[in-house]
Amino acid sequence: MSSSKKKIVENIFYVGVNDREKTLFENYLPLPQGVAYNSYLINDVQTALIDTVDVHFVGQFLANVEYILQGKPLDYLIINHMEPDHAGSIGFVCQKYPNVKIVGNVKTFEMLKGYFGIDNQIHTVKEGDSISLGEHQLSFFMAPMVHWPEVMVTYEQKTQILFSADAFGTFGTNDGGFMDTQLNTDKYWDEMRRYYACIVGKYGAPTQAALKKLSALPISFICSTHGPVWQKEIAKVVSLYDKWSKYEAQKEGVVIAYGSMYGHTMQMAEAVCEGVIAGGVKDAIIYNVSKTDTSFILSDIFQYNGLIIGSPTYNTELFPLIETLVHQIEHRGIKNKVYSCFGSYSWHGNAVNILTQLAQKLNWQMVSPTVENKHALSQDKEKQCFALGQAVAEKLKVVSIA
């Protein structure tokens, strides 16, 4: 493949790879559309490689790098993020280019030694430091906890390229091209939100701090470590990150997540959903937690401003998969929800009590009364479920979407 097909701008190239084999990201998040591991190469008087790729693709990756360098030495390896899907090939890069100087911050090099035993030929940078490659000047800005403590971003001043580590990344491979100007980006937005919700979602405050810091920079391209290079859609991706990191919903709508062992809680969920629709909210999405992976449910919880959770009482606690979902919600500290809950039981009811506490912990707007049903669903309880859905919809009508 000609180098022109991998060129972002003159002398700056994409050298990443697509992973169409892995089924679970971080060994737990489904990858129905695969994932890209992005790396970038600046071919100036001095050369710089920015991040590497998952070690399983090191052969293809090194071939991509060598195709651009054409025998030139690699002078710098910039490490924005030490997570193994991006740092996994560092050892092989150092073997192939033994004189390379490794650039990172103090926290980077603690991890570099721990993972690879490397502590020589390092160049430590701090906030605002720069390196000149010739025509291109690289500046470094710390972005801790977006989403690891060592994360930094690299900014190239001449071309106004931001190499953003995992920030602004998305699941999904880069199919046939890597620039957003080459691709139909419609397929990425849901996966970008799911990526944010599951990977970065806990770290809203650090993300806000990073966005504020970087807002002073003119940015013509965003080169993340996953997904397309953003050029046309920069305003959109920055706006989405701003909204998600403030825990602001994108749309009016209700996520109804339920667990059900024998169908009774499912029947309650159906009645609740009918009430939401009758209340004038058209986006009502029901998730059976036994069928849908939690990551997809979390993604829609970030998207919509309403949430209703239903669970049977299971050994005096929540249904296990609802318990998992609740833990993930609490772990991320998700804010700004209109919320209610429902549940069922056979001999001891407690699920609704536990689910009600979730609203108190996260300071959500609680819609009452909740509904708890014993044994089979009665007509009276079914009407109460319908009324619960209606009440949530009516509450949403007076809650603005930022």
- For residue 55, the model assigns a pLDDT of 98
Please name the amino acid found at residue 104. Answer: G
Chosen domain end from 245, 275, 292: 245
- Tell me, yes or no, whether 60 lies in a domain: yes
Per-residue pLDDT of the chain (402 residues; tens, 9 = 90+): 456 569 999 999 999 999 999 999 999 999 999 999 999 999 999 999 999 999 999 999 999 999 999 999 999 999 999 999 999 999 999 999 999 999 999 999 999 999 999 999 999 999 999 999 999 999 999 999 999 999 999 999 999 999 999 999 999 999 999 999 999 999 999 999 999 999 999 999 999 999 999 999 999 999 999 999 999 999 999 999 999 999 999 999 999 999 999 999 999 999 999 999 999 999 999 999 999 999 999 999 999 999 999 999 999 999 999 999 999 999 999 999 999 999 999 999 899 999 999 999 999 999 999 999 999 999 999 999 999 999 999 999 888 666
- Tell me, yes or no, whether 211 lies in a domain: yes
Sign of the dihedral defined by the CA atoms of residues 334, 335, 338, 343, in that order:
positive
Could you give the angle at the alpha carbon of 129 between the alpha carbons of 124 and 134, nearest 5°? 100
- Tell me, yes or no, whether 389 lies in a domain: yes
Task: Please say whether the beta carbons of 67 and 32 come within 8 A.
Answer: no
184 and 275 together in one domain: no
Structural domains of the chain, count? 2
The residue behind tokens 């199919």 is: 175
- Tell me, yes or no, whether 354 lies in a domain: yes
- Tell me, yes or no, whether 402 lies in a domain: no
224 and 263 together in one domain: no
112 and 157 together in one domain: yes
197 and 342 together in one domain: no
- Tell me, yes or no, whether 401 lies in a domain: no
- For residue 399, the model assigns a pLDDT of 80
Chosen domain end from 245, 278, 311: 245
- For residue 2, the model assigns a pLDDT of 53
- For residue 344, the model assigns a pLDDT of 97
48 and 10 together in one domain: yes
Chosen domain end from 245, 273, 291: 245
- Tell me, yes or no, whether 198 lies in a domain: yes
239 and 268 together in one domain: no
- For residue 37, the model assigns a pLDDT of 98
Virtual torsion, Cα 241, 242, 243, 244, nearest 10 deg: 40
33 and 178 together in one domain: yes
Structural domain boundaries enclosing 229? 3-245
- Tell me, yes or no, whether 54 lies in a domain: yes
- For residue 3, the model assigns a pLDDT of 60
270 and 336 together in one domain: yes
213 and 314 together in one domain: no
Q: What is the CATH number of the domain that holds 81?
A: 3.60.15.10
240 and 326 together in one domain: no
Determine if the peptide bond prior to 331 is cis (ω within 30°): no
Task: Please say whether the beta carbons of 392 and 254 come within 8 A.
Answer: yes
- For residue 76, the model assigns a pLDDT of 98
- For residue 291, the model assigns a pLDDT of 98
Structure tokens at 256: 């109804």
Q: What is the CATH number of the domain that holds 367?
A: 3.40.50.360
68 and 37 together in one domain: yes
241 and 258 together in one domain: no
